[in-house]
Amino acid sequence: MSAPSFPAASAAVRPVIAIHGGAGTLSRGQISPEQAEAYHAALHGILEAGQQILAAGGTALDAVCLAVKLLEDCPLFNAGHGAVFTSRETHELDAAVMDGATLAAGAVAGVCRVRNPVEAARAVMVRGQHVLMAGEGAEAVAREAGLAAVSPDYFSTEARRQQLHAARARHAGAVLDHDGAAALAGRPLDEDRKMGTVGAVALDARGHLAAATSTGGMTNKQPGRIGDSPLIGSGTYADDRTAAVSCTGHGESFIRVSAAHDVCARMAYGGATLQDATQAVVHQALPAIAGTGGLIAVDRTGSVSLCFNTEGMYRGHARVGERPQTAIFRDEPLV
């Protein structure tokens, strides 16, 4: 990519990484402390891996790509292995990555054979010719880059199949809404209502920002539907002059408000702080069109925002030299 790098914010920044594993409706009473602990442990381990890259002087881009790859590989989250099903009982995965230093970006949509869609997104970015590749063309880029390929059923898990069947049954029924009910056992957020995208944002020691997002999309989505995650500016954005942002939620709403870029625009044009900008997008712009979900963001000074308008969001952050902190529910402090 030939674009020049923006000057780094400051040589003295403390590197930090933040991750999310999806936002959704709470079903706290239905899980044991051990089950919640499994999510905390997964988030902690992945934050530590990203933290190590940053501590060793690695780039924000490498840290977010590794964190999202690990989240994809973890079946607890709806991305990569463990991704949700389309209405046709297939998988169509979307992912994006963006480098805030150069505004280089890459994304894939509707892939079902590359094992780690975030690596395919990075391969698109590295090639530099296009930003967003879909379907067979995206798979070809992944193949040419030598990325690991899998059979589509690698992504399937029994839990996700049950979710699809539950979603279908609900559509057939007369009851339109039973908020918070019917959680599948052992999952802190109601899996039928959880938006399970994964994402990471980071600031490295050189003051550069990066963001990455990956998803199976939404359970029972129509084949061919593409959400916000692979759309640069909607579900994913990074710009060294402002912030790196990764979103999770009802993708159609995030697309309509250009959520990730809106955070950066409010900072760039309106002088908003990261906290003010993320709050405005998540608690004003999205609710104005009934959009549910959340986002994680880090700015050029290392300030972090983990912001959502649902009852929970799997989330956490880790500064170099500090223990990672994670949380699931809205009223829960980071631990």
Determine phi and psi for 206, rounding to 5 degrees. -90, 0
Cβ neighbours of 259 (radius 10 Å): 30
137/142 Cα distance (integer angstroms): 9
Residue 228 vs 299, nearer CB to ligand ASP: 228
Whole-number Å distance between alpha carbons of 243 and 260? 9
| Residue 22 in contact with ligand ASP, rule: CB under 6 A | yes
**102/292 with CB nearer ligand ASP:** 292
Residue nearest to ligand ASP (CB): 251
191 in Cβ contact with 183 (< 8 Å): yes
> Which CB sits closer to ligand ASP, 214 or 325?
214
Number of CB atoms found within 10 A of residue 183's CB: 22
13-to-54, 110, 316 alpha-carbon distances in Å:
11, 37, 19
Q: Does 192 engage in binding with ligand ASP (CB under 6 A)? A: no
Query: How near is the Cβ of 146 to ligand ASP at its closest, in Å?
Result: 27
Decide if residue 233 touches ligand ASP (CB under 6 A): no
**Is 219 an active-site residue?**
no
Give the residue with the Cβ less far from ligand ASP, 102 or 214: 214
Give CA–CA dist 267/314, Å, rounded: 25
Of 82, 106, 110, 217, the one binding ligand ASP (CB under 6 A) is: 217
Stretch that binds ligand ASP, among 136-144, 150-158, 191-199, 261-269 (CB under 6 A): 191-199
Give me the torsion for CA of 13, 230, 86, 249, rounded to 10°. 50
- E-strand stretches of the chain: 16-24, 93-99, 104-111, 132-134, 198-203, 209-215, 236-238, 243-249, 293-299, 304-308, 312-319, 325-329
> Would you count residue 195 as binding ligand ASP (CB under 6 A)?
yes
Q: Does 309 bind ligand ASP (CB under 6 A)?
A: no
Both structure tokens of 172: 């057939």
Q: Which stretch binds ligand ASP (CB under 6 A): 26-34, 63-71, 210-218, 299-307?
A: 210-218
Query: Which one, 102 or 215, has the nearer CB to ligand ASP?
Result: 215
| Contact with ligand ASP (CB under 6 A) among 119, 191, 204, 228 | 228
Residues with catalytic function: 197
**Binding stretches for ligand ASP (CB under 6 A):** 22, 78, 195-197, 215, 217-218, 227-229, 235, 248-249, 251, 293
